[in-house]
Structure 1
């Protein structure tokens, strides 16, 4: 596990022996040692080289996992749902680690989403200044003109925010049904951004799928399938985010 100055109570909770709240109480009660010394201060930071014991028993630090999932429609991008709806973590069965999605795809949007238990990695990818490209394919009602597509790139005002597409193009159009298939690339991650942008120019989205995330795509994955990311892919994603940050 590549711990990098994580809070002690979080690391204890990630080991699976208790919840974070109970881990905090264990620390306050003097039952936790770091490198042989009792630690009673909440928020103490630890790294991968620190030896952590609870009641004199070393904890097993949770290793990081990374999954690419082809999310179906009608799944929630969460680890649980109060309304009892299906969640994306259900798509990775028999997993003994607690993972969560990197960002969100809304209930009616399908496509590529990453699941991990590496919080630092997730925050790196989601931070707005890191500008990870995400490619969506939308079926919209109506056939947008070149002027409309240009407006999407210049920026659309929606609920006090300016939403911009990095690239946008029509892949196909059906004049009889008055619909179009449009590809849009974003490097932002605002709530329901693609749908909001098309709604603002009066081309409501009928169907939406995220096809790519940076260099990752859905090759070989049917709807509902998943695969583990390779070490090389994880490294490349991390490097891309850090490179964008330095621009």
Structure 2
């Protein structure tokens, strides 16, 4: 830097009266900005520029549109389900294909052919496709270890029923398959699968009962039951019968395929015995293992597959 430059620093510029020459801010001499100095952004509104709110005489704000509240229309189960949706939910086909089947007369409701598009049905209706009854709910199977004092029925006029015990098991419309007397105990199956019910009502499911009689069962009567007997003109056959190990002769194990419960009393009362206790120990491939009295559980896919081998 020249001497002349040093001498001229701080002197008057000559363009005005006593104006001091200041340092230029160019070429890196700009003042350092404070890091803590807040910046105004376009998102921060200036309070002075905010529009003032105005209200009418009723106290309602003026100048702001309120979005209309949409009323949510809830479906009423009593209104029913569209027939094509009912068919689609049953797994037969899609809704569009169901419309075609309805139009061609392949669908009936409660025994009558329905061709009307948009027709609504209830879950309790008998809907059939090509003669086969449909079920819009997934097939559900519940196993109960029944205690004493509960009637095997879905009627509400019988006092305490087995339906009270499985009320929280599922939302599906299940019903008991097979019967156990009010004072009988043991395994009882519930399902909404009509095909399963029809199949095993016809062929039966083997059930093993632990039966206690009022007196010892004679060996000759044991053999008679094993060989088959006729009561009131009806033939009754059992799969197996034997005395219970390490128990009095009044206790026997009886395996039979009948889905009813009265046949057991029919057999022994015909021979002069009173039945004191009946307990269903096994039902097809199912047992009472890890299922306390009065409790229920849903069947696994593996257990359902075992029924196909019966």
TM-score, structure 1 normalization: 0.70
Shift of 1:198: 0.9
- What is the aligned partner in structure 1 of residue 296 from structure 2? 226
- What is the aligned partner in structure 2 of residue 125 from structure 1? 200
2:266 counterpart (182, 196, 199): 196
2:189 counterpart (111, 114, 123): 114
Paired residues of 2:179 and 2:260 also in contact (CA < 8 A):
no
Shift of 1:96: 1.3
- Gaps spanning 5+ residues in structure 1: where? 1-15, 24-31, 46-52, 241-247
- What is the aligned partner in structure 2 of residue 80 from structure 1? 155
- Gaps spanning 5+ residues in structure 2: where? 1-75, 84-94, 110-116, 124-134
| Larger relative strand fraction | 1
Paired residues of 2:207 and 2:282 also in contact (CA < 8 A):
yes
Paired residues of 2:178 and 2:260 also in contact (CA < 8 A):
no
- What is the aligned partner in structure 2 of residue 183 from structure 1? 253
Cα 1:198/1:231, change in 2 over 3 Å: same
Measured against aligned partners, the alpha-carbon deviations of 1:21-43 in whole angstroms (never above 9, x if no partner) come to: xx8xxxxxxxx986234549585
Q: Secondary structure at the match of 2:252?
A: strand
Matches within 5 A, 1:87-102: 87-94=161-168, 95-102=170-177
Bigger relative contact order (CA 8 A; separation at least 6): 1
Matches within 5 A, 1:1-247: 17=77, 35-37=98-100, 38-39=102-103, 44=108, 54=118, 61-83=136-158, 85-94=159-168, 95-127=170-202, 130-171=203-244, 172-174=246-248, 180-240=250-310
* Aligned length in residues: 201
RMSD of aligned Cα (Å): 3.3
Mapped to 1, the partners of 2:239 and 2:197 lie a distance apart of 22
Measured against aligned partners, the alpha-carbon deviations of 1:65-109 in whole angstroms (never above 9, x if no partner) come to: 1111111122122212423x1221221133311100111112221
